[in-house]
Amino acid sequence: MSKRALTKYLSELKKKELEMQVMDLYTRFPIVKEYYDFVFNPKEEKLLQEAKIKISNEYFPQKRKRAKARRSIAHKFIKHFITLGVDPHITADLMLYNLEVAQTYSMQNNLATAFYKSMEKSFSEMVQYISVNGLLSEYKERIVKCYLFTTENDWPFQEDFSKSLDILD
């Protein structure tokens, strides 16, 4: 169904019918419930803390012996924050936190090239997001610190990290 057809269909419904459909969606689909719960009671700090705990648990597990170090976990939270419409400051903080935890992890472990490529992609996405949302003045110091860490520790894909910073200039 196209957006146009949906708009036409919804405009033909009576208010009571529309309310019933929204309530049906709310009870059937957890994502709709989560969206409305967030819209009416946005506990952004709580969401941020939960995400940070899960991301750090990927690299420094509390219950397992070995770290999984999956970028996909952080990426899933970041995408979820953007979808919900969480404040860009909080999303940017989470993006930077993900890189900072991964960098701390890299100091203690010998890692495959894929890890560094993945972190370069995260760095690039983070710089772009911060730039688009006009948050550079607040996060420039942390961004530069992340970049300097990559150069000081001889991370691969140094040129790509540098190119990502060009967006800021």
Structure tokens at 2: 């196209």
Please give the model's pTM, rounded to 2 decimal places.
0.85
On whether both 85 and 2 belong to a single domain, the answer is no
More confident residue, 101 or 165: 101
Structure tokens at 115: 């890890």
On whether both 49 and 128 belong to a single domain, the answer is yes
For residue 152, name the pLDDT band (cuts at 50, 70, 90). Answer: very high
Q: Residue 65: helix, strand or coil by DSSP?
A: coil
Residue range 3-18: mean pLDDT, rounded: 92
Domain range enclosing 17: 1-41
On whether both 50 and 125 belong to a single domain, the answer is yes
Q: Report the C-alpha gap between 133 and 47 in whole angstroms.
A: 20
The pLDDT > 90 percentage for the chain reads 76
Residue range 67-82: mean pLDDT, rounded: 91
The mean predicted confidence, pLDDT, of the chain is 92
